[in-house]
Amino acid sequence: MARKQIELSNDLAAELAGPGDEVIRTLEDRLDCKVYLRGNLLTLDGGDDDVAMGETVVREITDLVSQGHEVAPGTIEAIGGALDRHESPSSILEDVVWRHRSLKVAPKTVNQKRYVDAIRNHTVAVGIGPAGTGKSFLAVAMAVAALQRREVSRIVLTRPAVEAGERLGFLPGDLMAKVDPYLRPLFDALYDMLDPEKVNQHLERGVIEVAPLAFMRGRTLNDAFIIVDEAQNTTPEQMKMVLTRLGFGSKMVVTGDITQVDLPKGQGSGLVAVSEILADVEGIEFVRFGGEDVVRHKLVQRIVAAYNAHAEKQAPELRTAAERRSGGR
């Protein structure tokens, strides 16, 4: 057993002593050692390796706080995950893709950083993984930033209208009202990124367009940032159709979770197919998220892990050969 005591600055001690000691508890869980904070003195008790890792993590947190970062449980996870993979935590957490008022959007995990880089550096980026990994939220942030920088002239949000037996024709209202329940997560992200008046103005002028996937057929989308959400519910034919809508000066992000396919039984998912068909095509980058990338409540990570384990037993055919080799990430 080893013990290390670290004297902290007032700012760092205040960050770690957040509401309900949540940050300290996360630090303790991540490090597998006991963590005590008394005033400005942080004590680490545990095995030699765990205490040494704890000291490294605290040093990284100190650097981030000195640069103006706030410390949250997700920050601890990001730092630990980056160090596990021998990557720089600051290179992840300092990559702010969008700021709006008090909101600062940046990757929180190593895979989120790779996802953001994939969107930047490739014409088509495909994010595959469970709920809560930031696939849609980061895509919207990147889209709004690209629009702000005038790299594109419009944002197109689309997803297949497949949900628990409902169909667009049976829902009340005009097209916007019909589409709203399907694209609500993307709308929520937009309203987080921009003032409501600005979002409504963009919608009225067609700068932001929302439409079900069926409305993409026959179009060519030039100078646009296209987000295809919930792509696990596309058929292979629909996936091919939407990918070939890509025009000049455009960028596309495809997101989905292959463990949550709502298509009729026996119907193959376009997202599963595309990860096999286009894996080696230049200009397309695939990023696979795992349970460790879930940035919601800690319990969500455990729920995702349990469902993944169950799916592995019940339907291993849903996982491609590439995913089995990479452990689903």
Residue 140 — pLDDT band, cuts 50, 70, 90? very high
State how far Cα 322 lies from the chain centre.
21
Question: Does pLDDT of 329 surpass 50?
Answer: no
Quickly list DSSP for 157-196.
Answer: EEE---BTTB-GGGS-SSHHHHHHHHHHHHHHHHHHHS-H
Superfamily of domain 107-326: P-loop containing nucleotide triphosphate hydrolases (3.40.50.300)
Q: How do 103-105 and 34-38 pair as beta strands?
A: unpaired
Closest CA to 273 of 305, 243, 247: 243
Residue 177 — pLDDT band, cuts 50, 70, 90? low
Res 314: pLDDT: 67
Res 31: pLDDT: 81
Quickly list DSSP for 113-155.
Answer: HHHHHHHHH-SEEEEE--TTSSHHHHHHHHHHHHHHTTS-SEE
pTM, two decimal places: 0.72
Q: Where are the domains of the chain?
A: 2-93, 107-326
156: left (phi over 0), alpha (psi -120 to 50) or beta: beta
In CATH, the architecture of 2-93 is 2-Layer Sandwich (3.30)
Res 297: pLDDT: 59
Q: How do 2-7 and 41-46 pair as beta strands?
A: antiparallel
Highest mean pLDDT of the ranges 82-96, 140-154, 283-297, 310-324: 140-154
- In this predicted model, what pLDDT tens digit does every residue of 87-116 receive, in sequence order? 777 777 778 899 988 888 988 888 898 999
Question: Does pLDDT of 44 surpass 90?
Answer: yes
Q: 96 near 104, Cβ under 8 Å?
A: yes
Res 139: pLDDT: 96
- In this predicted model, what pLDDT tens digit does every residue of 2-34 receive, in sequence order? 999 999 888 888 878 776 677 788 888 888 889
